[in-house]
Chain A
Amino acid sequence: MSSIDEDQALVAAALNGSAYAWDKLVKRYEGRIYNQGLRLTGNATDAMDLMQEVFLGVYRNLHRFRGDAKFSSWIFRIAHNKAVDMNRRKRFITAQPRLSNLDEDNGMDNFPGEERFEPDARLGEQQLNDSVLNMLSELSLEQRWVVELKIFQSFTFDEIAELQDISANTAKTRFYSALKKLKVVLEEDNVLS
């Protein structure tokens, strides 16, 4: 059974009232939706709120899901809409001035040298994620979405086009311009350091 068929079987069973199937369905996607929320909002509380809204939306609209589309496309379309709604209220997705520029005087933001302390694995993880968030904050909203769906969710440009109601070509162009922008940021970083 392919994962697409499995999704559809789980949807059908959940519609029939199987709590087990619903639980399994949520488990399959919660990680992707939650991490998307983290990348969009930059904090765990908002990411959690967003994820819960997404799954509530999925639950409320499950009977509308048509088997001809991929469930993953369908759920990420809902996730997209919920994020846009939430951003209207909270404004977390804005092109912000770079954190590193703001904190230049604050030595805490530099990578810890050996003389300060040994960074443990957890800290390293958080630093990697922070640097990803930093890069994402350089992008426009449109670029951010395409990057999110292409790099982190592995959708094709055709799928992204459908999900965002744009043409595949527009999606492709946005992705390229996003990478170009990030390249410039990296070059600037290298000049500065």
Chain B
Amino acid sequence: MSCPKTQHLLQEYFSDELAPVVRDELDKHLSECSHCSTELELLLMAQGNLQQWQEKQVPHWDRGLTLFRQEHKTISNASGFWSRWQWLPTAASFVMLCVLVFNFSIVTDDNGLTISFGGSPTSSSSIQSQLAEFQQLQNAEMQALVARIEDRADSNNVQLMQAVLEQTQRSTAESFDQIYSYFEQQRLLDLQDMRVGYEQLADSDYKTIRSLQQLVNFVGYQSDIR
């Protein structure tokens, strides 16, 4: 037994939206016509079978990020304040490399950084004593700052030294290339560490740097008026 309305009605059944009038008409016919209702049931079953698809997880891939970054240059180069410190780990690595490869020994000066402003003051003794006091204060702060930076560099160096010794002990036939690539790797890691470290340092030492600038201005002013 067939029905002339099947095709038209069932095609409508799968529409995205049906006017309520059409929907009512459809329901009414389906309740009366066994051919159409059986047919619909089978079509829904076929649809249901397809819907059994099990979503598969996407295998790992880079999502085009390599290309994206390349073209947008989002790997930002160190800029501003931090670019000035970039040479630090490089230099440390290089020094270590020299020490290890060429068996150099380097004697560091324990006096640290000393700032001398030279020239004999011609101004009044009160200004002179104030300036001396100010200089002393700022010298101490500068020493502290430098010591902290050196500490950081030192601990980096110690770590480097330990790591390198470990590395070289493992194989005495270690090639220059291997050591170099190790340093390069270490340097990149250091760069990340140091950036974070110096950011913290910068926060706490911002005041120091400001007052150092004031000092420099002041001294500059002093020598100008002299």
Question: A interface vs B, CB < 8 Å?
Answer: 14, 17-19, 22-23, 26-27, 30-31, 34-35, 38-39, 44, 48, 51-52, 55-56, 59, 125, 128-129, 131-132, 135-136, 147, 151-152, 156-158, 172-173, 175-176, 179-180, 182-183, 185-187
Contacts and interface: CB of A to CB of B under 8 A. Distances in A.
B46 interface: yes
B11 interface: yes
B43 interface: yes
Interface centre among B50, B55, B74 (most CB of A within 10 A): B50
A157 B12 CA distance: 12
Interface residues of B, number: 33
A173 B11 contact: yes
Interface of B: 7, 10-11, 14-16, 39, 42-43, 45-47, 49-59, 61, 63-65, 67-69, 72-74
A69 B35 CA distance: 41
A183 B6 CA distance: 14
B86 to A, nearest CB: 23
29 contacts: A19-B74, A22-B63, A23-B65, A26-B63, A26-B64, A31-B57, A34-B58, A35-B56, A39-B53, A44-B56, A44-B59, A48-B61, A55-B64, A59-B67, A131-B49, A132-B50, A132-B53, A135-B49, A135-B50, A136-B50, A147-B50, A152-B53, A158-B16, A172-B11, A173-B11, A179-B14, A182-B50, A186-B42, A186-B49
B46 A52 contact: no
A129 B54 CA distance: 6
A33 B63 CA distance: 13
Contact of A183 (B15, B42, B72): B42
A51 to B, nearest CB: 7
A132 B52 CA distance: 7
A135 B68 CA distance: 39
Given A156-B16, A183-B43, A22 B65 contact: yes
A35 B55 contact: yes
B10 A128 contact: no
Nearest to A169: B11
